Amino acid sequence: METRSNHVLVGAVVLILLALLALFTVWIARLGGTSEKEYDIFFRQSVDGLAKGSTVAYSGVPSGQVKEITLWKNDPQFVRVRISVQDETPVLQGTTATVLGSFTGTSTVALDGARKGAPAIVCPAQNTESVCPYGVPVIPTKQGGIGAILNSAPQLLERLSTLTERLTALLSDRNQASIAGILENTNRLSDALADRGPEIAATLAQTRIAIQQAGNAAEQIGALAATTNGVLANDVQPAMQNLNRAIGSAQKSADSLNAAIGDARPGLQAFSKQTIPEVGQLVRDLRVMTTALSSVAEKVDQQGASSLIGSPKLPDYEGK
């Protein structure tokens, strides 16, 4: 009986010592380890390749690991990922999280975007449940890497399909025949140009000569224009001055003539009202006198000069 009691006592002491050793080991590990902070991330994209223990990197530097991955019960479109990072990791305002995939099939949670001097992401004193629904701060997300490519994959496939249809329509049999004809005509044109090479070179040479002659003509026209300006300045301007003086003299003469006509106007009026009627009366008197002289001359011619002195002889009367 005593031997069995001793074995039980020894076993109990050993177990107690082992438990104390385990607790001491854990305590030592905590003393030698670093403290960590936990955050929640709500992804609205696929988290393929992400699992518990996956690496969490901050700007490419490994800083923690994934602790938990579950669907968010409030909205199944979101996946809640609980991560833990080292205490010295600068998870500040502006930090965002992204799922980065790789060709090996494993994914990592990438953190970046913190601004210098910004405050840390913490749960507020009020409205804790709405901002931190699971009691830890929430890091906002952004699309990037394979996630962004997968989200835009439907649009990319649609555009590729449209592009394929257009290329198919462009490369139809009819268009291919047209393209072949265009290429054949292009070859013919190239051959014709090659055959006409010397003529084209001669034409270009003549063109250069014509351009040079045109330049010389332009210079001569410029010189002629300068000469014309000189002639206008030296010859035409003095002639114009003499013409202006002649016009001024003619104007003065016209003014003098108008003044003389104005002065002679009363005499002309008197001449027309008095002299002309008197002249008319004189002409009538002269006509009467001419008629009388004509009758006298006729009388003298028929009866002689005695007819002017005595009375006319009566004719002899003979009785029956």
Q: Could you write out the three-class secondary structure of the chain?
A: CHHHHHHHHHHHHHHHHHHHHHHHHHHHHHHHCCCEEEEEEEECCCCCCCCCCCEEEECCEEEEEEEEEEECCCCCCCEEEEEEEECCCCCECCCEEEEECCCCCCCEEEEECCCCCCCECCCCCCCHHHHCCCCCCECCECCCCHHHHHHCHHHHHHHHHHHHHHHHHHCCHHHHHHHHHHHHHHHHHHHHHHHCHHHHHHHHHHHHHHHHHHHHHHHHHHHHHHHHHHHHHHHHHHHHHHHHHHHHHHHHHHHHHHHHHHHHHHHHHHHHHHHHHHHHHHHHHHHHHHHHHHHHHHHHHHHCHHHHCCCCCCCCCCCC
Q: Determine the average pLDDT of the residues in 106-111.
A: 89
pLDDT at 169 over 90: no
Segment 122-150 shows an average pLDDT of 79
The confidence band for 140, taking pLDDT boundaries of 50, 70 and 90, is: very high
Average pLDDT over every residue of 142-168: 73
pLDDT band with cut points at 50, 70 and 90 for residue 163? confident
Query: Which of 56-60, 121-125, 151-155: highest mean pLDDT?
Result: 56-60
Quick: pLDDT tens for 207-258: 888 888 888 878 888 777 777 666 556 655 666 676 677 677 767 766 766 6
